[in-house]
């Protein structure tokens, strides 16, 4: 019996030791917390809908796709590309200001602690496998992200905007966060099965890139962050001047190189543009020369310690000796031919050094209280966000009209002036026409590709059909100029801008897109018959022949 209890005790002791050794670090907990907070709209994964509430007008710090069902904010990189694509003669001051503010506050600490894509790469790297160590080759490759920043994020959107075709190139052709969060997460939901019809060569390319990045992350530490991510390149410009991050005390540094050797990123020195401020170098520094920026705001050491004495004239210039020592040295002749002058007494020497006040230092109890306060505040913020986004703010109507339902009434503003109200056109008092509602936006490639067919259909069936092209609620640029540049305003198609609708009590019921059952993907085409009943709806790209077939069958 005693042996049995001993074995049980040993088992629990080993289990406890294993759990203790495998507990997540503070950094990992912060990463998980940040990923959950920026994707607090958990119900989006169960409904297959994107949150489109008010906070989507603001950017989260890390790379987190706008189209992810859980995202509560916009991606700063995607917002920058859209802003540049829509800038025309206006500078995208708003998004540039947000990026500058985030950079000045945190720099690449965002990459190390707050980016969900960085967390995914960290977890993939934990899979046991042979690891590719950093080298001169990886250091050269680390500059690729600056090339991509200039080419795909800045030059291409501006160049295509000059041609009248906005193109957020990085998001469209490369970004793995968009592939996983904005495409795969939506495609997994059964209600979005119509989206599979829209998949083509571009999705195949991006999916292959996503798989490549994931597999590479198993063998290489953060390959996307190190070689590809333009957002990390932007934050890297602010790393040295950011308020928070790691810093190196050059007076204490012995140039042993352990920090650079231990770091998995391609840094040349602590805190440079490649440093993600993970803080792992702090523990390996034997001279304790690395610390956190901003820590002196909370814990400040006493300054009564004298500066280090110099061992050579050069060091003496770099690290001056204390004032008392300088006075004493000045009193001593270089060639002692006579007895030296009387040296100052100890009290006099001490009086030569001005008294420095003892600075405030937070003790163990104060630090513990600060930690508990921080934990409680973080838990309240996360809990409040989860409750708000999943139970209070719907973001958009959860259920829209389906085929066979009476079409909801709406009033929207036309780009050529005036308003359009559906109830005035259909039903007993209507004009007897069929109404085709096409929902689109300027930076949606399938939308722009299908509109010529839709316009041609509007011209050929003008006597019996009215086509209404409704742009998304989001303003990406001067939509009227976009339409005119392509000559679409010469067709009978009515171009209008979507807007939030209200009920009789003045409560918002959602945009027109929401009311007709939109599932946060574009394009969408809805056909309403002359009686005001929804006869057809598709969330896939539609062509001329398909429109003719559907309308002729009504």
Tell which wins on pLDDT, 348 or 264: 264
Distances (CA, A) of 316 to 262, 306, 323, 331, 352: 32, 14, 13, 17, 20
Cα separation of 149 and 152, whole Å? 6
Query: Does the pLDDT at position 275 exceed 90?
Result: yes
Which residue reads 């996503």 in tokens? 210
Question: How many percent of the chain have pLDDT more than 70?
Answer: 83
**CATH pick for 246-293 out of 3.65.10.10, 3.30.70.20, 3.40.50.300, 3.90.1300.10:** 3.30.70.20
What does pLDDT average to over the chain?
85
Three-state SS string over 306-319 comes to CCCCCCCHHHHHHC
Q: How confident is the model at residue 331 (pLDDT cuts 50, 70, 90)?
A: very low
Distance of CA 509 to the CA centre of its chain: 29
* pLDDT score at 356: 56
Query: Does the pLDDT at position 123 exceed 60?
Result: yes
Distances (CA, A) of 46 to 42, 43, 54, 199, 398: 7, 5, 21, 22, 11
* pLDDT score at 305: 41
Locate 446 and state its tokens. Answer: 């399938």
Quick: pLDDT tens for 464-519.
999 999 999 876 567 888 899 899 999 999 999 999 898 888 888 889 998 998 87
Which residue reads 């607090």 in tokens? 40
* pLDDT score at 163: 67
State the CB neighbour count (10 A cutoff) for residue 512. 28
How buried is residue 17: exposed, middle or buried, by Cβ count under 10 Å (0-12/13-18/19+)?
A: exposed
- 524-528 and 419-421 beta bridge pairing: unpaired
CA-wise closest residue to 437 among 475, 397, 410, 476: 410
Quick: pLDDT tens for 162-207.
666 667 899 989 999 999 988 899 888 887 877 777 778 889 999 9
- For domain 411-552, the CATH class is alpha beta
Work out the average pLDDT over 328-336: 44
Query: Does the pLDDT at position 239 exceed 60?
Result: yes
Q: What are phi and psi of 61, to 5 degrees?
A: -70, -45
Asked if 191 and 520 count as a contact pair (C-beta separation under 8 A), the reply is: no
Instruction: For residue 523, say if its preceding peptide bond is cis, omega within 30 degrees of 0.
Output: yes
Locate 98 and state its tokens. Answer: 């947000």
Asked if 532 and 524 count as a contact pair (C-beta separation under 8 A), the reply is: no
Mutual angle of helices 364-387 and 26-38, in 10-degree steps? 30
Its pTM stands at: 0.77
Quick: pLDDT tens for 339-382.
555 554 544 444 455 555 555 567 788 888 988 999 999 999 99
How buried is residue 232: exposed, middle or buried, by Cβ count under 10 Å (0-12/13-18/19+)?
A: buried
Mutual angle of helices 93-106 and 76-85, in 10-degree steps? 150
Locate 198 and state its tokens. Answer: 């829209």
Task: Tell me whether the CATH fold assigned to 246-293 matches the one assigned to 411-552.
Answer: no
- 434-440 and 465-471 beta bridge pairing: parallel
Domain limits, the chain = 22-236, 246-293, 411-552
Asked if 141 and 226 count as a contact pair (C-beta separation under 8 A), the reply is: yes
Query: Does the pLDDT at position 322 exceed 50?
Result: no
Query: Does the pLDDT at position 524 exceed 70?
Result: yes
For residue 198, give the DSSP letter.
G
Contacts of 73 (CB under 8 A, 6+ apart): 38, 55, 56, 58, 59, 60, 64
Distance of CA 437 to the CA centre of its chain: 33
The SS3 call for residue 173 is helix
* pLDDT score at 359: 55
Tell which wins on pLDDT, 308 or 216: 216
Asked if 161 and 45 count as a contact pair (C-beta separation under 8 A), the reply is: no
Cα separation of 343 and 332, whole Å? 9
Cα separation of 494 and 412, whole Å? 11
Distances (CA, A) of 401 to 122, 427, 522, 528: 43, 17, 17, 12
């Amino acid at each position: 019996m005693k042996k049995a209890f001993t074995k049980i005790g040993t088992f629990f002791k080993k289990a406890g030791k294993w759990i203790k050794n495998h507990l997540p670090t503070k950094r990992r907990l912060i990463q998980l917390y940040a990923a959950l907070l920026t994707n607090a709209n958990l119900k989006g994964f169960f409904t297959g809908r994107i949150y489109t509430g008010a906070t989507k007008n603001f950017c989260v710090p890390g790379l987190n796709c706008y189209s992810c069902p859980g995202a509560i904010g916009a991606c700063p990189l995607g917002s920058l590309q859209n802003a540049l694509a829509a800038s025309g003669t206006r500078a995208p001051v708003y998004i540039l200001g947000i990026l500058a503010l985030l950079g000045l506050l945190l720099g690449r600490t965002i990459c190390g602690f707050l980016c969900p894509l960085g967390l995914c790469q960290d977890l993939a790297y934990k899979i046991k496998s042979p690891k590719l160590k950093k080298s001169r080759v990886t250091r050269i490759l680390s500059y690729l992200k600056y090339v991509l920043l200039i080419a795909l994020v800045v030059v291409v959107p501006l160049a295509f905007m000059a041609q009248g075709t906005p193109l957020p190139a990085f998001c469209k052709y490369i970004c793995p966060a968009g592939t996983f969060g904005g495409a795969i997460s939506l495609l997994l939901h059964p209600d979005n099965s119509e989206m599979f019809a829209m998949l083509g060569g571009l999705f195949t390319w991006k999916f292959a890139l996503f798989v490549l990045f994931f597999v590479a992350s198993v063998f290489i530490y953060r390959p996307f962050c190190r070689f590809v991510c333009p957002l990390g390149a932007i934050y890297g410009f602010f790393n040295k001047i950011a308020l928070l991050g790691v810093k190196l005390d050059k007076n204490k540094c012995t140039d042993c190189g352990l920090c650079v050797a231990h770091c998995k990123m391609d840094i040349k020195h602590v805190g440079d543009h490649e440093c993600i401020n993970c803080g792992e170098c702090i523990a390996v520094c034997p001279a304790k020369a690395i610390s956190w920026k901003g820590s002196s705001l909370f814990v400040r050491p006493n300054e009564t310690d004298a500066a280090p004495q110099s061992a050579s004239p050069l060091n003496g210039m770099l690290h001056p000796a204390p004032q008392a020592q300088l006075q004493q040295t000045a009193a001593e002749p270089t060639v002692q031919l006579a007895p030296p002058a009387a040296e100052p007494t100890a009290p006099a020497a001490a009086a030569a050094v001005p008294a420095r006040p003892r600075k405030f230092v937070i003790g163990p109890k104060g630090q513990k209280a600060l930690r508990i306060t921080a934990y409680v505040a973080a838990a309240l913020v996360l809990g409040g966000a989860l409750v708000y986004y999943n139970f209070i703010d719907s973001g958009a109507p959860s259920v829209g009209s389906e085929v066979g339902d009476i079409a909801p009434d709406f009033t929207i503003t036309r780009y050529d002036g005036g308003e359009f109200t559906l109830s005035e056109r259909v039903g007993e008092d209507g004009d007897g026409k069929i109404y085709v509602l096409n929902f689109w936006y300027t930076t949606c490639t399938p939308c722009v590709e299908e509109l010529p067919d839709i316009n041609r259909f509007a011209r050929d069936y003008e006597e019996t059909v009215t086509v209404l092209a409704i742009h998304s609620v989001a303003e990406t640029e001067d939509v009227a100029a976009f339409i005119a540049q392509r000559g679409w305003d010469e067709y009978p198609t009515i171009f209008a801008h979507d807007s939030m609708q209200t009920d009789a009590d003045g409560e918002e019921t959602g945009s027109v897109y929401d009311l007709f059952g939109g599932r946060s993907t574009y394009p969408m085409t809805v056909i309403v018959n002359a009686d005001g009943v929804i006869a057809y709806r598709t969330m896939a790209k539609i062509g001329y022949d398909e429109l003719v077939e559907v309308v002729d069958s009504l």
